[in-house]
Chains A and B, each alone.
Chain A
């Protein structure tokens, strides 16, 4: 029963969602809404589970003085700081309201730190482009040329250089960028999308029909 009940639940819920997509009438519509609500509740619990798991691992790392334990200490301190301020120091307002302590932390700590992490990519991309972007063979050369056109064509520099080189308008880097994005990129993306979709459909069917059981643990 330990395996059968989850398999039956998966099959019933999976089939309900498939059928309601094509038959949005009662009782499928209501059933699907109820199941969606359940999904939200389970997802909300999963957030808690994730947070508690992060906390457990971080506390363990600090208590055993494992490598880089200081970063885990910062994680724990930040976790409790934002939790306590959000829950108890909002001055009777909603915690995300402008001017609350949580909002102050979000604006002045979380937001700049998060943006900084993402901004570092610019530096690493530049360094990686210098070291790794080489025309070693035909494929790499095609990639390099396409990247060049898009990098130039996506900025006003593309128009300027096209003008300087007296290129006919259809060959301006901005227009070539549009051709690459609208034809080559779309063709490639469609192929990837169709491939992924077929994979998702076949895997989902295997799970719904109980053929694929790895998500239940064991073999």
Chain B
């Protein structure tokens, strides 16, 4: 028994890797799903978005990179799909260079059109770039949404947006034209002209900076989606009412998908995460049992 426990303690870590590999991948291939219960912080964000009137102008700040894609991209897709359904006008920016590119990818993934392009008034419009089709809704670049791209400067970009959006983002990202040429920007001159900010964040600069500047200084409500690692850091803002809601990690994404009626990647990935968590807990129990059994033996030996 002692020898067995000792062997367990010294188990080759590659065995653990293989177990985790199967725990993560098998549920995806089996298309497993578990019931998702919505937590209060996710419900708060959804309710805050629901309260906005149709046609509201929302700033979508994508502050993450592909490293956080499994957790944050499903939130981006569900959020954009919801905004299209609610007829919101949304303006995309990024305080991370990869953020606006991630938004482009989200557009492609939610776009239901099979055609690559269409011709409208002599202009060739590309689906995914100029047009997005979601169900019976079609939104058009420059009229219903715009991507202003990345701007360097971290929280000072938010501060500059507080005084003038044009100062921080003079041109759009798709055509490089002055953003004032686009109808979607009508009436948007400074940060406080937005009805809501939907921030997806994987670190600095991110949700903390949006709360400190956009909420506290310019009084624009912010709802955020964070990685599971970062979410605990922003809970104090939620408790203080500075944050209008929080999607934390894969689970937050899955709950949000359930609320907006777009059960997709996060819901599917929750099965993998659940099975992997069960195995990690099993490993911890086995490790502790082996540790206590062999520790008793080593104490006897020392005596």
Contact = CB atoms under 8 A, between A and B. Distances in A.
B129 A189 contact: no
Contacts of B232: 181, 185, 189
A189 B69 contact: no
A182 B164 CA distance: 36
B284 A144 contact: yes
A106 interface: yes
A39 to B, nearest CB: 5
B236 A127 contact: no
A213 interface: no
A125 B280 contact: yes
A32 B152 contact: no
Given A96-B149, A185-B232, A130 B16 contact: yes
Interface residues of B, number: 69
A150 to B, nearest CB: 9
B101 interface: yes
A190 B157 contact: no
B153 A154 contact: no
A43 B287 contact: no
Interface in B154-207: 154, 156-157, 159-160, 163-164, 167, 173-176
A82 B79 CA distance: 31
Interface of B is mostly: helix
A190 B105 CA distance: 36
Contact of A159 (B37, B176, B287): B37
A97 B277 contact: no
A110 interface: yes
Nearest to B23: A126
Interface string A175-192: 000100110011001100
A154 B249 contact: yes
B152 A40 contact: yes
B282 to A, nearest CB: 9
Contact of B163 (A29, A94, A119, A193): A29
Contacts of A115: 66-67, 69-70
Contacts of A157: 34, 274, 277-278
Between A29, A111, A119, the greatest number of chain B beta carbons within 10 A of the residue's beta carbon is seen for A111
A155 B273 contact: yes
Nearest to A135: B288
A33 B159 CA distance: 8
Interface of A: 21, 29, 32-33, 36-37, 39-40, 43-44, 47, 94, 96-99, 103, 106-107, 110-112, 114-115, 117-119, 122-123, 125-127, 129-131, 133-135, 144, 147-148, 151-152, 154-157, 159-160, 174, 178, 181-182, 185-186, 189-190, 193
23 contacts: A36-B160, A96-B101, A106-B98, A118-B67, A118-B70, A119-B70, A123-B20, A125-B280, A126-B279, A127-B13, A130-B16, A130-B284, A131-B13, A133-B287, A147-B284, A151-B280, A156-B37, A159-B37, A160-B34, A174-B39, A178-B39, A182-B235, A190-B236
Given A33-B160, A103-B104, A118-B68, 12 more contacts: A40-B160, A94-B173, A98-B129, A122-B24, A123-B16, A127-B16, A131-B13, A133-B287, A159-B35, A185-B235, A189-B236, A193-B236
Interface of B: 11, 13, 16-17, 19-21, 24, 34-37, 39-40, 65-70, 98, 100-101, 104-105, 108, 126, 128-129, 149, 151-154, 156-157, 159-160, 163-164, 167, 173-176, 217, 228, 232-233, 235-236, 239, 249, 251, 270, 273-274, 276-281, 283-284, 286-288, 291
